[in-house]
Amino acid sequence: MKKNLSFIKFNLILNLIIFIFLFICIQNSSKKQRVNLYIAKTIPLPISFIIGTSFIAGSLSFPLVKISQIIDQSKNFHNESNN
């Protein structure tokens, strides 16, 4: 359990560092695009920001899956110990 939590903590810190680095790197980015959402369009954003945030969102989805597995395991453990 501690191993899983330390992995999740490491992953979150790493993604935060990458996100900060992304903001520093896109300062001089000149090529911009709008993102089409379901409701409206966004303001023109640098392409590197769009790609970088997509990458970070993908790498953050794994710890969320891992957290849900840990919660399910702890529920199963508590249910088995009560019986």
What is the amino acid identity at position 41?
K
Per-residue pLDDT reduced to its tens digit, 17-75: 988 888 887 777 778 888 787 888 888 888 888 888 888 888 888 777 777 777 777 77
Q: Report phi then psi at 32, rounded to 5.
A: -125, 150
Q: Report phi then psi at 54, rounded to 5.
A: -65, -40
Widest CA span in the chain? 63
Per-residue pLDDT reduced to its tens digit, 52-67: 888 888 888 877 777 7
Cross-strand bridge partners of residue 32: 46
What's the full length of the chain, in residues?
A: 83
pTM: 0.62
Position 38 scores a pLDDT of: 82
